[in-house]
Amino acid sequence: MILAIASGKGGTGKTSVAVALAQAATGKVQYVDCDVEAPNGHLFLHPAITERREACLPVPAVDAARCTGCGECARFCQYNALAALGTNVLTFPELCHGCGGCAKLCPAGAIREVPRRIGVVESGQAGTVRVTQGRLDVGHPAAPPLIRAVKRQAGADGLAILDCPPGTACPVVAAVRGCDALLLVTEPTPFGRHDLTLAVALARGLRLPLAVAINRCDTGDRQTEAYCRAEGLPVLLRLPDDRRVAEAYSRGEGMLAARPEWARLFRQLPAAMATLGQGGAP
Amino acid sequence: MKIAITTSGDSLAAPLDSRFGRAPRFLLLELADGSFTLVDNRQNLDAAQGAGIQAAQNLAATGARALITGHCGPKAFRVLQAAGIQVYTTPGAPTVAAAVEAYRAGRLQPLAAADVEGHWA
Amino acid sequence: MKELAIVSGKGGTGKTSVTASFAALAGGRAVLADCDVDAADLHLILAPTVVERQPFRGGHEAVIRQADCIGCGACLAHCRFEAVRMAADPEDATAPPRFTVEPTACEGCGACVRFCPVQAIAFPERECGEWRRSETRFGPLLHAQLGVAAENSGKLVSLVRRQARRQAEATGRDLILSDGPPGIGCPVIAALTGATLALAITEPTVAGEHDLERLLALARHFRLPVLVSVNKWDLNPAMAAQIEAAARRAGARIAGRIRYDRAVTTAQIRAQAVVEGPETGCAQDIRQLWATVLEALNG
């Protein structure tokens, strides 16, 4: 089962929940860190990394000797990654999405694709949990290709927990697409609730089975609970605000280090997520 | 020799537009006789990214040898340089005519590099 | 024109809360920009009255015209983004399969459009969201809503900033305060390039430390000066000090700390900036931070 953990708002506890779930779950478990801009799971799981691979995007390289200056490549490219000045074709690989179109359409066969590094994918073991994570190179703008590369490393059997980036834009879509169920972690504040509504719209747009976890549930206001009730969203986890948990988190210790008794709350999650209908209807 | 000046207007009295990539048009002036044409640059309005790159290609196709504008980012600069177009900036010139006057009088310095950081998009 | 970009690396450190208070303290001098376009929250405090809204169009998307499709699958073969779905024809098992493009996965590259042998794929412009210009009790606000699962968040951020700049010029203001997104990807890059100064808000945790380091590397890449402030510093003073030391080594300046206070959440629930509420220690910390930031902007 592929279980994605996302949020909308940043800082609600996605990584905390994902790590606790990885530690509490039984059987074959993988933790997959898809927040490639700011991957944090490793800070809590301490995996021994044994595999490290560069992730690359195929970008154009133009053979000036073959180029006839027709300009087709530059006209085709939607991202202005190619600028044609006669037979002098400039490339802007940082703008390239790696679609391969230019190389295929060049009538002179003057364009070949060369790999451009965008980041790394690493894997290793943390006790019984297999950890896979991606780390985007600083300065490289686009996370989705690396997120897809990270997900390809995730194995097909057992439980795969995908720790997703914050927000609702294309990195999140790349991370949550194709999961079996999505757990949205929120906090009961106005910002948390507002961003939750955006994340729910995203999940429903992607037709993903959906549930909610409310972190620091005894703080803030009652609006988030009311919203979940009104929308028929199952709240499968409620975690109280806990100073010991916050302090442990600040030191790089997971929730279960401070509150081991919470393990049973996490252990029941995968089975509960597996029975969800689509779109959050119970 | 033709030079191009970024503008939102349609004559020498028009204001200089300090943007390059997203300037609505270029006034393309033939220095020898003072005649000019207007070149539309609005393909960039909805460009997802790299508006300056498109504008630079657009300009290169006109045969202009120099550009006067307000600022030039690194991607646009790279294309203009490759196209052999000398870039001058004069954010202070109020009109196209004033910019041309400054250019003719030799008061404008050509850029050796982009003078502003690019907008990512 | 000066622009302050408030960023963090890690999400949830308090960027929006700080921006709202800075807006209150700026005394009408600033134009506010909410650059966290796919999870914008600043308006929840600022209660804007929308004066202008415009659709935001970015790029294109591929749409297969089913009536013209011959079911050859060239589109699926060419798509690098797993955006083409193939399904058996529900009405006729002997017919060729149906192909459709998933809009949330399509990156608008145009490859399928180009290589479809019968030109059966349309390539309309994509409407990705909306940007808005509003009035608030602290001054003009430029903000946006990116469409659900939409692309081009970086472009929308650039657009919001451009409009903020226009508004500042039009109203004789010389300062833009931008509430930035988390992370270090294209919306953050779009928020940072060309700004005068970045203020990085972090928290005294290993995750905060880790993500700040990446953000500072990004700022160095763009040669942008950075001020750092540890929010909720008293939750782990040793970690706060460690983060500040590392930030200094990375070339950033420490602008001051903000203490933890539940009043921040209370203010949010009341749709108030922290400094509009009771004068707590936390509010004092934010005022002090603003003073330091102003000095850095003017200097």
pLDDT tens track for B31-75: 999 999 999 998 766 666 788 999 999 999 999 999 999 889 899
With 0-12 CB in 10 A as exposed, 13-18 as middle and 19+ as buried, what is C97?
A: middle
A167 & A242 share domain: yes
Residue ending a domain, among A102, A117, A132, is A117
Q: Which of the residue ranges B45-54, B70-79, C75-84, C147-156 would you say has the lowest mean pLDDT?
A: B45-54
Residue B97 to chain A, least CA–CA distance (Å): 29
> Token pair for residue A11?
């800082």
pLDDT of residue A282: 45
* Structural domains of chain A, count: 2
Cβ atoms of B27 and B96 within 8 Å: the answer is yes
Nearest to B48 among C58, C161, C223 (CB): C58
Rounded CA-CA distance C281/C275 in Å is: 10
Same-domain check for residues A8 and A88: no
Q: Coil, strand or helix: which one is A5?
A: strand
Asked whether residue A190 falls in the same domain as residue A75, the answer is: no
Complex ipTM? 0.90
Question: Which pLDDT does position B48 carry in this prediction?
Answer: 61
Residues A167 and A251 in one domain: yes
- The partner residue sitting opposite A80, judged by closest CB among B47, B82, B120, is B47
Residue A164: inside a domain:
yes
In this structure, the answer to whether residues A126 and A197 fall within a common structural domain is yes
Structure tokens at A160: 């795969």
Interface test with B, best of C3, C37, C126, C158 (most B CBs within 10 A): C158
Residue finishing a domain among A84, A117, A150: A117
Interface touch C194/B48, C-beta < 8 Å:
no
The model carries a pTM of 0.90
Domain stop point among A82, A97, A117: A117
Q: Are residues A80 and A197 in the same domain?
A: no
Same domain, A105 and A136: no
Query: Is A124 inside a domain boundary?
Result: yes
Contacts of C3 in chain B (CB under 8 A): none
Of A167, A246, A251, the CB nearest to C206: A251
Of all residues in chain C, the one with the smallest CA distance to B19 is C162
Cα(A214)–Cα(A227) distance, integer angstroms: 12
For A213, phi then psi, to 5°, come to -120, 130
Residue with the bigger pLDDT between C149 and C68: it is C68
Q: A77 and A195 share a domain?
A: no
**Over chain C, what is the mean pLDDT?**
94
C interface test, pick of B44, B115, B119 with most C CB neighbours within 10 Å: B119
- Chain B residues in contact with C161 by the CB 8 A cut-off are 119
Interface test with C, best of A12, A111, A137, A138 (most C CBs within 10 A): A138
My answer on whether A138 and A244 are in the same domain is yes
Rounded alpha-carbon distances, angstroms, from residue A253 to A238, B66, B108, C56, C180 = 20, 61, 61, 43, 28
* % of chain B with per-residue pLDDT over 70: 89
Segments forming the whole domain that contains residue A91: 57-117
Q: Is residue A282 part of a domain?
A: no
- Band (pLDDT 50/70/90 cuts) for residue B121 is very low
In a domain, A163, yes or no: yes
At C269 the three-state DSSP class reads: helix
Residue from the list B48, B49, B82 with its beta carbon closest to the beta carbon of A88: B82
* A39, A133: one domain: yes
CB atoms within 10 A of CB C252: 21
CATH code for the domain of A159: 3.40.50.300
What is the distance between the alpha carbons of residues C21 and A254, in angstroms, rounded to a whole number? 32
How far away is chain A from the Cα of C170, in angstroms, using its nearest Cα? 31
